Structure 1
Amino acid sequence: MMDILLQVIEKTIRINSDEKELVAKLFREKEYRKGEYFLKEGEVCRHVGFIIRGMMRYYINDDGEDKTYGFGKELDFVCNNESFIPQKPSVQRIQALEDCHLLVISYDNLQLFYSGLKNGERFGRIIIEQVFIQTLQGLNSLYTDSPELRYEKFMKDYPDLLQRIPQYYIASFIGVKPQSLSRIRKRNSRGT
């Protein structure tokens, strides 16, 4: 499993054998059963996870209604940076949608990763830049795209997730009620 993480890191930065050993010492394996939380509202996010197997959902509870704003799947990093970076309580939740196997690194160990790898901070910056761009794209889409277009983008960007995610989470992610998603899917299937 560590080999998978090392391959992902090596796609971004070069690491030598000593650095690989350090990475292996800083990350540890953790499993989450379907329905368990990686992070609950009010907790401080103390780890970054790397998903080896499974899927997680990011959401907030808005006046009793869950609103999904993202998913993490195999080879994705999972974290609430808004809580993790300043080490403040989270208003968001991250929950396992399937049984998940992760490699996790604590806040303190991530600081050792940054300082112990020649290009560790560069790797962190590149990952955070990717998260930032995804967040902006999602926000822009929510304000400028129709629900139909957001669903089309979801299908294009995540074709492998359509059968793995309950439809009501997909509806929440694109910003509609499940009944509206059913109508969008019907129209979409007639158009193809």
Structure 2
Amino acid sequence: MNTDYTSLLQAIRHWVTVHSEEESIISALFERRHIASDDFFLRADDVCHYVGFVVDGLLRYYILDDGIEHTYDFSPERTFTCNYESFLTQTPSTRFIQAIEDTTLLVISYDNLQLLYARLHEGQKFGRLVAEDLFVGMLQKLTSFYNENAEERYDTFLRSFPDLQERVPQYVIASYVGIKPQSLSRIRAQRAGKQY
């Protein structure tokens, strides 16, 4: 089994036990896909047909509001990516998922995911645990946005994604924090002890 699938298996094993005979089921249900930097895993108005596992690269999630991008999450290596609302209901997405870097994924279709749930001994448990984790994560992000000021939200970004500060463009980080890029520059400069 190649290293792409090895990292996928490690991620699944974080949630549930995978028996050796189930490894071939997993590798048969996922397929490899490459997305170039700035291209899209999903565009608004398209239906999300796949759940992806990021092997290498980085994706961001955003919405458009009057032409302004509002970034609300990231998927770095070894994380799953999807617009679950669109995926589960098979209705058009209101969100974008875009590659910030060249990104390699392993993707699974809706039908194949149902097979995964059915054919793995702990498949249903895996689906439930991932859904619960996503739900808690989204609630934490929502709470952060409404209860924290810009500096606190920036700190939350740094804690949540400690390896992304140098990989994500400043305007995207500012969008995630909910401020203008100039305000983010000011926060960074103050912390570096510089005059702005």
> Which range, TM-score by smaller chain?
over 0.9
2:44 aligns to what?
Answer: 41
Q: What's the TM-score, normalizing by structure 2?
A: 0.95
| Counterpart among 170, 173, 187 of residue 170 in structure 1 | 173
**Which runs of no fewer than 5 residues in structure 2 stay unpaired?**
none
Question: 2: distance between equivalents of 1:11 and 1:139?
Answer: 25
Q: Is 2:75 the partner of 1:69? A: no
1:127 aligns to what?
Answer: 130
Question: 1: distance between equivalents of 2:15 and 2:73?
Answer: 23
Question: 1: distance between equivalents of 2:167 and 2:25?
Answer: 34
| Counterpart among 176, 184, 192 of residue 189 in structure 1 | 192
Aligned residues: 191
Secondary structure in 2 aligned to 1:91?
coil
**Which runs of no fewer than 5 residues in structure 1 stay unpaired?**
none
Question: 2: distance between equivalents of 1:89 and 1:123?
Answer: 26
Q: Which amino acid aligns with 1:177?
A: K
Q: Extract structure 1 runs of 4+ deviating beyond 6 A.
A: none
Question: 2: distance between equivalents of 1:112 and 1:43?
Answer: 24
Question: 1: distance between equivalents of 2:72 and 2:16?
Answer: 29
Secondary structure in 2 aligned to 1:183?
helix
Higher mean displacement: 141-150 or 154-163: 154-163
Deviations along 1:2-28, one digit per CA (max 9) or x if unpaired, are 111111111221121221111010000
Deviation at 1:151, TM superposition (A): 0.5
Secondary structure in 2 aligned to 1:29?
strand
Deviations along 1:86-119, one digit per CA (max 9) or x if unpaired, are 1110000000000000000000000000011111
| Counterpart among 137, 155, 163 of residue 140 in structure 2 | 137
1:148 aligns to what?
Answer: 151
Q: What's the TM-score, normalizing by structure 1?
A: 0.97
Q: Which amino acid aligns with 1:56?
A: L
Secondary structure in 2 aligned to 1:14?
coil
User: What percent identity do the matched residue pairs reach?
Assistant: 47
1:28 aligns to what?
Answer: 31
Deviation at 1:156, TM superposition (A): 2.2
Question: 1: distance between equivalents of 2:147 and 2:174?
Answer: 17
Q: Is 2:5 the partner of 1:17? A: no
Question: 1: distance between equivalents of 2:118 and 2:162?
Answer: 38
1:179 aligns to what?
Answer: 182
2:11 aligns to what?
Answer: 8
Secondary structure in 1 aligned to 2:192?
helix
Higher mean displacement: 31-40 or 155-164: 155-164
Secondary structure in 2 aligned to 1:126?
helix
